[in-house]
C-alpha cells in the first residue's frame, strides 16, 4: 500500500514545465542589467536634455525654437534629410540589386566603396566633398559656367546627406534580396508577366519593409550629421545652416538651455517622423 500511494502521489503531483537552458544568466539578472544599461546610455541623457530647456520657461522655449534662424535650419535639416532618404531609397535599391544579382569585374572594389561613408571620418568626408563640389573643384567647376553653384548652398547639403545615407539602404536590402526566392519570379514569367510587371508586382512588395527601414536609417543619420555637412554647407544663416550647427553655436555662447531647446525640437520631430514610418511599415506588413 505504501508503494502504491507513493506512485499515485507522484502521478498526481503538478508537473514542472521543461525549460531549455539559456546561454545568458537568469531573467532577473539580464533584465536588471538591460534596464541599467539603457538608463545610463539612453534614458538619463534624454532626461537631462528634456529637463534643461525648461529653465527658460515655456514662452522662452517657444521663442528659441521659433526664431527665424532656427526654423530655417530645422527646415533644411529635416527637408534635406527626407529628400536624401528618398534619393537613397531609389538608387540604393538599384545598387543592392546589381550587387546581389550580377557578377562583374571589380565587384569587390565597388562593394568596399559602398562602405566608405562608414569608414571615413566625417570631417574627412566633408573636406573631400567640398574639394570636389567647390566652384574651383573638379565637379563644381563644370557647373559654374551655367551659373549653378553646388558647394556652400542647400544643394551641397543635400549631396552630403545623400553620401552618408546610401550604405544604410544598400546594406539593409542586400540580405533580403539574397534570401528572396526566385520561384515566384519564374512563375510570373511562366504566366506571361513582363520583367517590369514581375518587379513591381512580385519582387518590390517583398522588399518594402527593408526598403522603408533602410530609408528611415538614412534619414535619421542625415538629420543629426554634422562633420560631413558643415564644410560643404557654407553655414550661411537662413540659407545653408543646419540645425546641429545652431546647437554648436549656442553651446559656444554658453547658452546651454537654448541648445537643449533646439535639441528637444529635433528629437520631437525625429520621433514623430520615425514613428510614422514604423506605423506605415507595420500597416504594409499586415496587408501582405
Looking at residue 88, its pLDDT comes to 95
> Which single residue is written with the C-alpha cell 556652400?
152
Q: Can you give the residue ranges of every domain in the chain? A: 60-287
191 against 35, higher pLDDT: 35
Beta-carbon contacts of residue 285 (< 8 Å; ≥ 6 apart): 209
Residue 7's pLDDT band (boundaries 50, 70, 90)?
A: very low
Q: What is the pLDDT of residues 105-134, one digit of tens each?
A: 988 999 889 988 888 888 888 999 999 999
CB 182 within 8 A of CB 240: no
Looking at residue 26, its pLDDT comes to 62
Q: Which residue in 127, 71, 70, 76 sits closest to 247, CA to CA?
A: 70
Cα–Cα distance, 37 to 41 (Å, whole number): 6
Q: What is the pLDDT of residues 35-85, one digit of tens each?
A: 888 888 878 888 878 888 888 888 888 999 999 999 999 999 999 999 999
Name the least confident of 30-44, 67-81, 178-192, 200-214: 178-192
| Single pTM value for the model | 0.82
- Give the distance, in angstroms, between the CA of residue 164 and the centroid of all CA atoms in the same chain: 10
Region 88-113 average pLDDT:
91
23 against 180, higher pLDDT: 180
Region 133-145 average pLDDT:
91
- The x, y and z cell numbers of residue 26, run together, are 537568469
- The structural architecture, per CATH, of the domain 60-287 is Orthogonal Bundle (1.10)
Amino acid at each position: 500500500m505504501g508503494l502504491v500511494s507513493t506512485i499515485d502521489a507522484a502521478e498526481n503531483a503538478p508537473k514542472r514545465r521543461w525549460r531549455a537552458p539559456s546561454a545568458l544568466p537568469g531573467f532577473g539578472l539580464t533584465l536588471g542589467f538591460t534596464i541599467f544599461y539603457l538608463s545610463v546610455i539612453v534614458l538619463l541623457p534624454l532626461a537631462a536634455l528634456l529637463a534643461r530647456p525648461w529653465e527658460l520657461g515655456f514662452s522662452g522655449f517657444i521663442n528659441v525654437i521659433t526664431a527665424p534662424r532656427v526654423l530655417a535650419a530645422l527646415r533644411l535639416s529635416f527637408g534635406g534629410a527626407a529628400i536624401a532618404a528618398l534619393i537613397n531609397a531609389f538608387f540604393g535599391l538599384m545598387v543592392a540589386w546589381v550587387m546581389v544579382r550580377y557578377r562583374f569585374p571589380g565587384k569587390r572594389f565597388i562593394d568596399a566603396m559602398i562602405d566608405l561613408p562608414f569608414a571615413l571620418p566625417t570631417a574627412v568626408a566633408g573636406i573631400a566633398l567640398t574639394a570636389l563640389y567647390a566652384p574651383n573643384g573638379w565637379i563644381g567647376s563644370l557647373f559654374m559656367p551655367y551659373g549653378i553653384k553646388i558647394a556652400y548652398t542647400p544643394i551641397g547639403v543635400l549631396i552630403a546627406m545623400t553620401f552618408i545615407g546610401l550604405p544604410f539602404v544598400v546594406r539593409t536590402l542586400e540580405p533580403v534580396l539574397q534570401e528572396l526566392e526566385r520561384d515566384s519570379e519564374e512563375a510570373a514569367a511562366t504566366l506571361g508577366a513582363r520583367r517590369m510587371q514581375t518587379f513591381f508586382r512580385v519582387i518590390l512588395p517583398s522588399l518594402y519593409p527593408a526598403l522603408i527601414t533602410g530609408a528611415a536609417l538614412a534619414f535619421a543619420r542625415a538629420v543629426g550629421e554634422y562633420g560631413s555637412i558643415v564644410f560643404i554647407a557654407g553655414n550661411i544663416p537662413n540659407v545653408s545652416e543646419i540645425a546641429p550647427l545652431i546647437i554648436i553655436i549656442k553651446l559656444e555662447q554658453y547658452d546651454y538651455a537654448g541648445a537643449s531647446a533646439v535639441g528637444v525640437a529635433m528629437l520631437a520631430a525625429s520621433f514623430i517622423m520615425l514613428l510614422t514610418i514604423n506605423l506605415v511599415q507595420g500597416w504594409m506588413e499586415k496587408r501582405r
